DNA sequence: AGGCATTATATGTCGCGACATTTAATTCCC
DNA sequence: GGGAATTAAATGTCGCGACATATAATGCCT
C-alpha cells in the first residue's frame, strides 16, 4: 500500500510535464513570428500587468530566480522590448520597463491564447475549471516546498 | 472579443508551467538522494513498463527527440542504471535496458508519488480527475501540433 | 560612525529541450 | 543488385532552469 507503484500515465507529474511541453510546441511558430521565446512572453505578461517591476519582483511573479531572469531580461533589452535601469532610490535593484515595442507585443500576441484554446478542444467552462484546479495544485505544492527545511 | 487579453493567472499555460516547476522543486531533494534527475526518472519509469526500448521509442513515449534522449541515456549508462546496446537485427537502433541498479530504483522511488500526494493537498479522486483532464488537454494539444503544416 | 548581516542582482556550471544537421544502416524500387 | 530515399542516433548550438557563489548596496546595531 505505502509502496504502490504507479504507471507513467497514472502520474500527474508526467501529464503536467507533457502538457507544458505540448503548449510550448503549439506556441512555437507563433512565438517565432513574434521573435520572442515563451519565458520572454511571460515576462512581458507580467509587465503588462505591472510595468516597472524589479528583476526580483519579476522572478517572484513567475517563480524564477535571478539567475534565470537576469539573462532573460538582458536578451529582451537587446531585442528592444524592455529597458533596464538601476533604481536611484536603491541601487541594488534593476527596474525593468516596457518599451513601445514591448507594449505593442500585447496586442500582437493575442494569437497565443486563441491558438491554445483551439488546440485544447475544450469548452471555456472546462478550461476555466481546469485552470483553477491546476492553480490550486501548483499553489499547494509551492507552499509545501517553501515549508520544507531546505526551502 | 477576438483580441481579448487575459491576465497571467487566466492563462492555463502559466498554471501548467508553474505546476511543472513546482513539482520539480518538490521532487528535487528526493531525486538528489536517489542521485537521478527528473527526466532520468521518467526514462526509468518508461523502462519499468517496457524494458529494452530503443532510444527512439523512449523519446516517443516521453515526447522527447533523440537529441534529448541520447545524452540523457548516456549519463544514465555512466551512472550504471541502464545498458546501451545496438540492436543486431537493425544496427541503426540502440536498445536501452535496465541494470539491476535501474530496476532497484523503482522500489526506492515510491517516495516521489507519496510526497507529491502529500504536497498536492487533494483527495485521490480529485487528483485522478485532474490527471484525466490534463491528459485530455495535453493529448488534444499534441494532436493539434502534429496536424500543423510544420508539425 | 564602524562593522556586520541582509538584500538584490549577476556570474558560472550543469542538465535539459528544441532545432538543424550529420552519419550510418536499412529499405525501396527500378 | 545498386543507387536513392528513408529511418535511427548522434552532434552542435541556443535558451532556459536550478544551484552555488560572488559582488555590491543597504540596513542595522551598538
Q: Give one DSSP letter per residue of B81-136, joined into a string.
A: SEEEEEETTEEEEEEEEE-HHHHHHHHHTHHHHHHHHHHHT--HHHHHHHHHHHHH
Q: Annotate A73-99 with DSSP letters as a single string.
A: HHHHHHTTSEEEEEETTEEEEEEEEE-
- B149: number of Cβ within 10 Å: 5
Q: Given pLDDT bands bounded at 50, 70 and 90, which one contains residue B150?
A: low
Nucleotide nearest to B150 (CA to C1'): C19
Of all protein residues, which has its CA closest to the C1' atom of C21?
B67
CA angle B46, B30, B106 (to 5 degrees): 35
Residue A73 and residue B80: Cα distance in Å, rounded? Answer: 40
pLDDT surpassing 90 at residue A113: yes
The confidence score (pLDDT) of residue B104 equals: 97
B4-59 pLDDT per residue, tens: 899 999 999 999 999 999 999 999 999 999 999 999 999 999 999 999 999 999 99
- Cβ within 8 Å, pair A131-B10: yes
Contact (CB, 8 A) for A43 and A74: no
Averaged pLDDT, A108-124 = 97
Contact (CB, 8 A) for B29 and A144: no
Say which residue the cell 546496446 belongs to.
Answer: B85
Contacts of A9 (CB under 8 A, 6+ apart): A15, B135
Q: Given pLDDT bands bounded at 50, 70 and 90, which one contains residue A1?
A: low
The alpha carbon of B58 is separated from its chain's Cα centroid by a whole number of angstroms, namely: 10
CA of B92 to C1' of C10 (A): 45
- Cβ within 8 Å, pair B144-A118: yes
- Comparing CA positions, the residue from A130, A144, A148 lying closest to residue A16 is A130
Residue of B nearest to A140 (CA): B120
Averaged pLDDT, A124-134 = 98
Q: For B20, which of A16, A27, A118 is closest by C-beta distance?
A: A16
Q: Which residue has the higher pLDDT, B125 or B2?
A: B125
Say which residue the cell 499547494 belongs to.
Answer: A140
CA of A73 to C1' of D16 (A): 12
Averaged pLDDT, B69-81 = 98
Could you tell me how many residues make up chain A? Answer: 151
- Average pLDDT score, chain A: 96
The confidence score (pLDDT) of residue A19 equals: 98
Averaged pLDDT, B65-91 = 97
- B16: number of Cβ within 10 Å: 27
The confidence score (pLDDT) of residue B3 equals: 79
B109-135 pLDDT per residue, tens: 999 999 999 999 999 999 999 999 999
Hey, what's the cell of B145? 501540433
Q: Given pLDDT bands bounded at 50, 70 and 90, which one contains residue B148?
A: confident
* Proportion of chain A in helix, strand, coil states, percent, rounded to 5: 70, 10, 20
A43-63 pLDDT per residue, tens: 999 999 999 999 999 999 999
The DSSP element (H or E) to which B4 belongs, if any, is: none
The confidence score (pLDDT) of residue B151 equals: 46
- Average pLDDT score, chain B: 96
Q: How many CB pairs under 8 A join A and B?
A: 190
Averaged pLDDT, A19-30 = 98
pLDDT surpassing 60 at residue B145: yes
Q: What are phi and psi of A150, to 5 degrees?
A: -85, 5
The confidence score (pLDDT) of residue B149 equals: 63
Looking at chain A, the whole-number percentage of residues with pLDDT higher than 90 is 93
B86-114 pLDDT per residue, tens: 999 999 999 999 999 999 999 999 999 99
Averaged pLDDT, A95-101 = 98
pLDDT surpassing 50 at residue A151: no
| DSSP-based three-state secondary structure for B53 | strand
**Which chain C positions have some atom within 7 A of a protein CB?**
7-13, 15-20, 24-27
Amino acid at each position: 500500500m505505502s509502496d504502490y507503484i504507479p504507471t507513467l500515465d497514472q502520474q500527474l507529474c508526467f501529464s503536467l510535464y507533457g502538457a507544458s511541453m505540448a503548449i510550448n510546441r503549439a506556441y512555437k511558430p507563433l512565438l517565432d513570428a513574434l521573435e520572442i521565446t515563451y519565458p520572454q512572453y511571460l515576462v512581458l505578461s507580467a509587465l503588462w500587468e505591472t510595468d516597472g517591476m524589479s528583476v526580483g519582483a519579476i522572478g517572484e511573479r513567475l517563480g524564477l530566480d535571478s539567475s534565470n531572469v537576469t539573462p532573460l531580461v538582458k536578451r529582451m533589452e537587446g531585442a528592444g522590448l524592455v529597458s533596464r535601469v538601476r533604481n536611484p532610490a536603491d541601487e541594488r535593484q534593476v527596474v525593468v520597463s516596457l518599451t513601445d515595442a514591448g507594449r505593442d507585443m500585447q496586442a500582437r500576441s493575442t494569437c497565443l491564447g486563441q491558438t491554445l484554446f483551439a488546440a485544447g478542444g475544450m469548452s471555456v467552462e472546462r478550461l476555466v475549471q481546469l485552470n483553477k484546479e491546476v492553480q490550486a495544485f501548483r499553489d499547494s505544492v509551492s507552499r509545501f516546498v517553501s515549508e520544507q527545511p531546505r526551502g
